[in-house]
Amino acid sequence: MSVVGVLRKDFKDVRRAKLVWAPAVVYTLFMLLFFWGQSQSTNPDFYQILWGLVGIGGALLIPLIALVAAYLSIAGERESGSIKFLLGLPNTRTDVVVGKVLSRSAVVTAGVLVAFVIGVPAAALLVPDMTFEYGDYVLFAAVTVLYAVAYVAVAVAISAATASRSRAMSGAIGFFFLFNLVWNFLPVGPVQMIGFLSDQFNVEVSDSVTELVYSISPTGAYLNGILKLIMPDRFNAQAGAVVADPPFFIQGWFMVLILAAWVVVPLALGAWRFRRAELG
């Protein structure tokens, strides 16, 4: 069966799940809501819509879409025992992990892209006077898809490393809480801890380093990537100044590399852990 066989079988199974498509529908509704909101403005702002989608998508909906779609991809089959049938075919455990990542990523990508496709005619109908920046819109969609796939890879890795539905769910919730809410939004994240410790020990830490720490999480990389690649003027306004010749590790392209690393590294770790697992 190999990777392609696992992909086809899993895609057919998961695409019927309403729970997988529900968050994508919600994301589409929020997009339409933002377009409608700009239609009420005398000076509609295309980038205000994108930033609204970054906020609601980066903080909640995109991770939710990906985690719901993928956290039971392997753990669910291990608990039910169907994983033995899948491995009884000519598949390696690595084939299973890679196939699951590809199939769940395909479903999530389809849901997200449907929302972006709907957004084009919605903008023309709801906000005809707004200048629609197609190039930035495509780039925004591409980075958002990569962000979603990163969360899929994490969810599949967690699923591969756990033997039950409850543990997979706990792992997915724990990852979301730590690397989304705590890391980037709550006042107890690593950036705040660095600031506290630097004050206590009178050690100066550059803004570039703290920004890199903020961007290590998938959500931080996504937020900074969108700002720097698509909305640099808004980023500079929020930062309070234009940084001349910033270090490479806080530039927009490096944020994309961080997101790509969140795809590759969890996938490798998940496959390694699953190869060593006792399936009973």
- C-alpha distances (whole Å) from 112 to each of 53, 132, 145 are 12, 19, 7
Tell me how far CA of residue 137 lies from CA of 51, 123, 164, in angstroms: 11, 12, 40
pLDDT for residue 244: 61
**CB neighbour list of residue 163: distance below 8 Å, 6 or more residues apart:** 75, 78, 79, 277
The pLDDT, as a whole number, for residue 25 is 86
In this structure, the dihedral spanned by the alpha carbons of residues 57, 58, 59 and 61, taken in order and rounded to 10 degrees, is 30
Domain boundaries, the chain: 2-276
At residue 202, the pLDDT reads 85
Parts of the chain with a pLDDT under 50: 239-241
- Identify whether the C-beta of residue 141 lies closer than 8 Å to the C-beta of residue 112: yes
User: 3-class DSSP state for residue 203?
Assistant: coil
**In angstroms, rounded to a whole number, what is the distance separating the alpha carbons of residues 243 and 236?**
8
* Unique residue bearing structure tokens 């939710």: 64
272 burial level (CB within 10 Å; 0-12, 13-18, 19+): middle
Tokens of 211: 């920004």
Per DSSP, the residues of 94-132 read: HHHHHHHHHHHHHHHHHHHHHHHHHHHHHHHHH-TTSPP
> If we measure between CA atoms, which residue out of 143, 130, 112 comes closest to residue 31?
112
Cβ distance 277 to 96 under 8 Å?
Answer: no
Angle, CA 261 vertex, CA 155 and CA 144 arms, to 5°: 70
pLDDT of residue 134: 95
Give the ranges where 162-251 is alpha helix by DSSP (H): 165-176, 183-184, 190-201, 207-215, 218-230, 232-239
The pLDDT score that the predictor gives to residue 240 is 46
Radius of gyration of the chain (CA): 20
How confident is the model at residue 135, as a pLDDT? 95
* Residue carrying structure tokens 């909640």: 60
